[in-house]
Amino acid sequence: MRMGGEPVSFASPHDALGRGVATIYQDLALAPRLSIAANVFMGAELTRSLGLSFIQVLDKRRMMAEAKSYLARLGVHIDDMTRPVERLSGGQRQAVAIARALRWDAGIIIMDEPTAALGVKETAQVLALIRTLKAEGRTIVLISHNMRDVVALADRVVIMGGGRKRTDQPIGSLTADDLSHMIMSGNARDA
């Protein structure tokens, strides 16, 4: 990966997060039985002192308030931050995964098939979430087989084949059908 023109490598996903790069995997990597707040802060839980500096406990109240705030920034309003993630819709789960990236203050968010297996309404919700991230100035790397999503969201398209970059160009006037044809025919070339 290149950041600021310089190649970089990461020792671990946590290292990438620490440097502002978050990945939202297709399966979302959420803990379904844990609460919304616990999922947003997984691996970076907030604590408070019990009066003795060496005794720390989870600051659940603050985690719930901040998780709710991250979701609100995305236009998602869920009142009960203790609700297990398994009881959320697909679009709401995607919002929780995105809220976790916001919690890490990621400037680059890699999203792997964010609308896979979602219905029409949930897909529209996720596309709106991605637009919100983009409007905040975050860079979104969208990995998708859904060319309609790509055309609706992307400024640039990169087509890979056989582990190599076949094209890297602005979306411009390309349509979903154009992209599909470029992929299927193998005629993708650098612009």
Confidence at residue 161, expressed as pLDDT on a 0 to 100 scale: 85
Pick from 40, 48, 105, 42: nearest CA to 68: 40
Measured CA to CA, the distance from residue 2 to residue 173 in angstroms comes to 27
> pLDDT digit string (tens) for 47-98?
998 877 778 899 999 999 999 999 999 889 999 999 999 999 999 999 999 9
> pLDDT digit string (tens) for 103-156?
999 999 999 999 888 888 888 999 999 999 999 999 999 999 999 999 999 999
Pick from 131, 121, 175: nearest CA to 153: 131
Pick from 60, 21, 8, 10: nearest CA to 38: 60
C-alpha dihedral sign at 165, 131, 89, 177 = negative
- Taking the model in full, what pTM does it have? 0.85
Query: 91 or 7: whose pLDDT is higher?
Result: 91
Measured CA to CA, the distance from residue 148 to residue 144 in angstroms comes to 10
Measured CA to CA, the distance from residue 17 to residue 27 in angstroms comes to 18
> pLDDT digit string (tens) for 110-124?
999 998 888 888 889
Where in 18-128 does DSSP place strands (E)? 21-24, 47-49, 56-58, 108-112
Query: 189 or 92: whose pLDDT is higher?
Result: 92
Query: 186 or 112: whose pLDDT is higher?
Result: 112
Measured CA to CA, the distance from residue 189 to residue 54 in angstroms comes to 60
Q: Is 135 exposed, middle or buried, given 0-12, 13-18 or 19+ CB atoms closer than 10 A?
A: exposed
Domains and CATH numbers, the chain: 2-154 (3.40.50.300)
Residue 1: pLDDT band by 50, 70, 90 thresholds? low
Confidence at residue 189, expressed as pLDDT on a 0 to 100 scale: 58
Is residue 190 predicted with pLDDT exceeding 60? no
